[in-house]
Chain A
Amino acid sequence: MAEERYFISLADFLGFLKRLATEYEIFVPSEKDGRFHLGRFVPEETDSLRLNPCRVVEPLKAFFFPPREKVAEYFAEGAEPEAKKRIIVGAKRCDVAALKILDFVFLQGDFEDPFYKSRRENTVIISSDCGTPVESCFCGMFDSNSYPVNGFDLNLSEVDDGFVVEVGSETGRKLTEGFDGFKEATQQQLEQRDNNRKEADAQIREKVGAAGLYPAEKAQGYLLAKMEDAMWARHAENCVECGACNFVCPTCHCFLLIDLEEAGKFKRFKDWDSCQYPAFARVAGGANPRKRRAERLRNRFEKKFDFFPRNMGSYACTGCGRCVDACPGKIDIRELLKELAT
């Protein structure tokens, strides 16, 4: 399929969102204290839009795999509700890469997670190119592109006065149809996009080198050679077992099923869980294969850099750096990855 792309002015893009807002709940980036977050798009109050130059603070996973979700009200079968129709504007390359990992977890294998599936099918992803990476980004370790090449419905590349829009799916195409704000992109606009991309690519690659990191292919081998190293205990010293690294991670998918009785109804919830919690691996009889923090820290790396490549053929880390920003113990995944290679 030839790349299908348009130009849309900022004003027209806002008009486009306003039109879609009757049918979809829309989330757009906004800046607060120098950091970007996703928030509800309120058509009446919005006359401008600033795209995030880099990933937002929160992982996208919460849209598809919320911190707590009711997954059954049992012995009283009704149909599960369809997920709300949503549009997310401002997903980044690392965000769509993380969704591929969650898709593997929740949609592949003998069982599909119907809740994830419904949310995924009802959510439109409008991604955008990265400009300037934030301090903690090291995505260049995993992918040398600063922009997504697939995994989105529409992708936006900022150019003068608006965006070059690339269509990435049938859903994306349908949305553009019948809205005359989408114009043919000029050669000049496409060139501007390509130049911006080259510049951003160079920036993310440079960050990988500056952090002392290496191409991701090597991480699995380095890790396996360091499984018994003292580094785990040393770094885990600072871990307060808060689980923040897991909760902000766009690929961490672990959860626990929790049952409650409420007003005579039996409910089951799927709650985010953290492999850094002491009881994560404990069995009913009390045995716990990962009693020490060092073992649990190592577990996070083993899962991301050995389990996933073996099972999915890809690392379960996108280099987004969210865990670096979130950890109160200042445990920095880049430092650990670097140390693996020494």
Chain B
Amino acid sequence: MSNPYSPVRATLEDVIDETPNIKTFVLKPEREMPFKTGQFIEMTVPGFGEAPFTPSSSPAVTDRMEVTVMRAGTVTELLHKAQPGAVLGLRGPFGKGYPVEEFEGKEILIVGGGVGLAPLRSLLFALFNEMEKFRRVILCYGARTPADIVYKNQLKEWSEREKTEVLLTVDEGDGEWKGNVGVVTTLLKQVTVDIPNAVAVACGPPIMMKFTVLELQHMGFGDDRIYLSMEKNMSCGIGKCGHCRIGSFYVCKDGPVFTYEQLKEFRNIWD
């Protein structure tokens, strides 16, 4: 009898400092935990509790998993104190990920805000793994300040890949920042996308997602072509505990990836 509430033991192999309050944890679970990009896992701090995260690593790598975590609550506070060698737990993967097959032959506009780039990085790896299937990838990423930008080196690498564009912005620059200043939607005004043959994928803080959806609609994206990664206070991850409801859905089992079409009839989805 398999027990969906019991975590698999995972060893923390490495901790990468991304920003002052975001770290990436490299985990090696006791048994392989293959996932589809966009699916999420529950990470356990033993004896203390769990929190949901979408892995930020490539779904093609099944013996390691990377999880990028912003310090935001009690569990993440403890995680941030963890050192390599620590034992953590993992449950999952849960939910529905990005329908990458549906992106084939299309331009993919990816919009990220803050730590919301974590699930999108996994998606980017998945796309890069079979880039011949996609027309183009455009990443628009916004962070609060230059110091808050995650995956700095990789962003540069990605911008040099073929069929890939990377646009960055910060809400507030510093002395050295020469790039765009403004919210992420200001980047959307700068990109040219073949809208009828494109999909858009967004992940970030609720307020950023809200305005991104408005801008994407304004650009001409149909609601069924806008993919969103939703955040709710998941507990069980398996559609039983009732915590993560949005309208007629549970985020843990029907999401975390939804199209805006699926969600738009429900009130207060950004609260």
* Chain A interfacial positions (CB closer than 8 Å to B): 71-72, 74-75, 77, 79-80, 105-106, 109-114, 118, 227, 253-261, 266-268, 270, 273, 275, 280-289, 303, 306-307, 310-311
With a CB–CB cut-off of 8 A, which chain B residues contact A110? 238-239, 253
Give the docked Cα–Cα distance between A150 and B72 (Å): 49
Closest Cβ–Cβ distance, residue B19 to chain A (whole Å): 16
Q: Does B76 contact A (CB under 8 A)?
A: yes
Give the docked Cα–Cα distance between A79 and B241 (Å): 23
Closest Cβ–Cβ distance, residue B249 to chain A (whole Å): 9
Q: Is the CB of A259 within 8 A of B1?
A: no
Question: How many residues of chain B are within 8 Å of chain A by beta carbon?
Answer: 41
Q: Is the CB of B271 within 8 A of A256?
A: no
With a CB–CB cut-off of 8 A, which chain A residues contact B242? 253-255, 273, 275, 303
Q: Is the CB of A289 within 8 A of B50?
A: no
Instruction: Give 10 closest A-B pairs by Cβ, nearest first.
Output: A261-B47, A284-B73, A254-B242, A72-B6, A111-B238, A289-B271, A71-B5, A310-B248, A283-B233, A285-B72
Q: A71-B5, A75-B46, A114-B1 are in contact. List 18 more A-B contacts (CB 8 A).
A: A74-B7, A105-B240, A112-B4, A114-B3, A254-B242, A256-B241, A257-B5, A258-B49, A259-B47, A266-B46, A268-B5, A270-B241, A275-B242, A283-B233, A284-B72, A284-B73, A284-B76, A284-B233
Q: Is the CB of B240 within 8 A of A111?
A: yes
Which of B2, B50, B248 is close to A259, meaning CB atoms less than 8 Å apart? B50
Give the docked Cα–Cα distance between A259 and B51 (Å): 12
Q: Which residues of B58-90 have CB atoms within 8 Å of chain A's CB atoms? A: 72-73, 75-76, 87, 89
Q: Is the CB of A287 within 8 A of B6?
A: no
CB contact under 8 A between A255 and B239, given known A80-B3, A270-B5: no
Q: Is the CB of A257 within 8 A of B236?
A: yes
Q: Does B190 contact A (CB under 8 A)?
A: no
Q: Does B206 contact A (CB under 8 A)?
A: yes
Q: Is the CB of B5 within 8 A of A259?
A: no
With a CB–CB cut-off of 8 A, which chain B residues contact A255? 235-236, 240-242
Give the docked Cα–Cα distance between A241 and B50 (Å): 25
Give the docked Cα–Cα distance between A331 and B239 (Å): 29
Q: Which residue of B lies closest to A79 (CB)?
A: B1
Q: Is the CB of B248 within 8 A of A311?
A: yes
Closest Cβ–Cβ distance, residue A10 to chain B (whole Å): 40
Give the docked Cα–Cα distance between A273 and B6 (Å): 19
With a CB–CB cut-off of 8 A, which chain B residues contact A71? 3, 5-6
Q: Is the CB of B241 within 8 A of A284?
A: no
CB contact under 8 A between A289 and B239, given known A257-B50, A283-B233: no
With a CB–CB cut-off of 8 A, which chain B residues contact A284? 51, 72-73, 75-76, 233
With a CB–CB cut-off of 8 A, which chain A residues contact B240? 105-106, 111, 113, 253, 255
With a CB–CB cut-off of 8 A, which chain B residues contact A257? 5, 49-50, 235-236, 241
Q: Which residue of A lies closest to B254 (CB)?
A: A311
Among B206, B231, B242, B253, the one with the most A-chain Cβ atoms within 10 Å of its Cβ is: B242
Q: Which residue of B lies closest to A112 (CB)?
A: B4
With a CB–CB cut-off of 8 A, which chain B residues contact A283? 231-233
With a CB–CB cut-off of 8 A, which chain B residues contact A118? 1
With a CB–CB cut-off of 8 A, which chain B residues contact A273? 241-243
Closest Cβ–Cβ distance, residue B119 to chain A (whole Å): 16
With a CB–CB cut-off of 8 A, which chain B residues contact A258? 49
Q: Which residue of B lies closest to A262 (CB)?
A: B47
Q: Does B135 contact A (CB under 8 A)?
A: no
Q: Does B156 contact A (CB under 8 A)?
A: no
